[in-house]
Each structure stands twice: as C-alpha cells, then as structure tokens.
Amino acid sequence: MDRRRFLTCACAATLALPLAARASDGPVKLRMLYARSGGSSELAQSLEGARISVSGFMAPPLKAESNFFVLTRMPMSVCPFCETAAEWPDDIIAVYTKRTVEVIPFNVKIMTSGVLELGEHRDPDTGFLSLVRLADATYA
C-alpha cells in the first residue's frame, strides 16, 4: 500500500466514525436524540450520563422561580406541556438547572449544556413529564 492510498483510507475511516464519537465535538441537535419510531435514539442511549451541549429556544416556564425549562427546536410562545409519555414531542428537551431559571425571550437562541438523562420523569412541583432531559445544566 502506498502513501496516497493509506491517506485516502484514513480519511474515509474518519468520515465513517459513529455519530456518538462525533457528538462530543459540538452541540447535539434535538432531532438526533429521538428515534423515528419514537423513544430515544441509539445516539442518545450511547450518550446517556455524558455532558452534552444542545442549542434551541427556551419555552416560557410553567411557573415562576422554577429550576427547569423546556428547550425547543423552534421558538414557542407557550410551553409545550405534555400529559403522557405518548404525547411527548420529538423536538423538545427538559433542562434542569441548579439555580432558579432566568427567563430568556422565547425567540432568542441559546446553548445549553448538561448531563443527558433518559426515561420518564415527572417533576414533583409541576407534574411536567419528561422523557429526555439535561440535568445539572447551564445555559447562555
């Protein structure tokens, strides 16, 4: 094998890396966390417990002085509150912070970073049900 062929193969192998390996390089898109058939994607399952970054828009909080908000793919002027797991949209994520959330206008894009958690969780204060969330999160 000559040097040119080796470099070509090395470049091709780099492009074929799994999504999970490349997810740490930058923000994860909301749609990448959900499988087409519903539930969490293979990427989300491989990143569970890891600190990831996700960008989106802060939906208006469900209550004042809350420690969580909903991050959406598109700006929303009302919170997409979900009653059951079956109704959970595939373009939102709950973001739990250590401090009270300072509300950012719904049409300003933000970057969040937190530990990815999967599975049903109902907030004890609001009853909000989440299937995918960031814990110990920060945002800017």
Query: Which residue in 104, 107, 101, 106 sits closest to 138, CA to CA?
Result: 101
**Given a cut of 70, is residue 27 above it in pLDDT?**
yes
58: amino acid identity, one letter = M
Q: pTM, whole model, 2 decimals? A: 0.75
**Given a cut of 90, is residue 109 above it in pLDDT?**
yes
**Given a cut of 90, is residue 6 above it in pLDDT?**
no
Looking at residues 114-137, what average pLDDT do you find?
Answer: 91
Domains of the chain: 26-139 (2.40.50.870)
| C-beta atoms surrounding 136 within 10 Å | 12
Task: Provide, rounded to the nearest whole percent, the portion of the chain with pLDDT above 70.
Answer: 73
Kindly give, in sequence order, each residue whose CB lies less than 8 Å from that of residue 106, ignoring residues fewer than 6 positions away.
57, 58, 59, 60, 75, 76, 77
Compute the distance between CA of residue 85 and CA of residue 73 in angstroms, rounded to an integer. 19
Quick one: DSSP state of residue 18? -
pLDDT digits (tens, 9 = 90+) for 59-105: 887 777 888 898 989 887 765 554 445 455 668 899 999 999 999 99
